Amino acid sequence: MIQRTLVLLKPDAVRRGLVGQVLARFEAKGLAIVAMEQRTITAEQADRHYAEHVEKDFYPPLREFITSGPLVALVLEGDEAIDIVRALNGATDGRKAAPGTIRGDYSLSNRENLVHASDSPESAEREIALWFPS
């Protein structure tokens, strides 16, 4: 089934100059970029995006990080895009993510893990509406 998913190339990806390499992986897989914008978000926007995590212990430093500089928000489209993108990203913790995945190849951190992607059709719908209301 053709799906759309919301992806963030987090501030560490922008700072490290990895935007092109990460986008190239998504494109090479066959996914289409249907919207994309670089933004620096506020704490309030971070809280809306990470609504399910705001009460967690790891959230304050995550909010600090995600608002620390520009990120690139995009919508990817393709067959089974939600699960495919999560597989390309790899496990959340870059130290545990398998080699060959984006986090496995480029991240050594549980927080600064380069990419975010929607984890279900419901979160994709919510996150796309939040980031790209038009």
The binding site for ATP comprises: 10, 58, 86, 92, 103, 113
The active-site residue out of 116, 117, 127, 128 is 116
Catalog residues that contact ligand CMP under the rule CB under 6 A.
Answer: 53, 58, 62, 92, 110-111, 113, 116
Instruction: Report in angstroms how near the CB of residue 31 gets to ligand CMP at its nearest.
Output: 17
SS3 per-residue string spanning the chain: CEEEEEEEECHHHHHCCCHHHHHHHHHHHCCEEEEEEEECCCHHHHHHHCHHHCCCCCHHHHHHHHCCCCEEEEEEEEECHHHHHHHHHCCCCCCCCCECEHHHHHCCCCCCCCEEECCCHHHHHHHHHHHCCC
Q: Is 116 a catalytic residue?
A: yes
65 vs 134 by CB, closer to ligand CMP: 65
**Residues with catalytic annotation?**
116
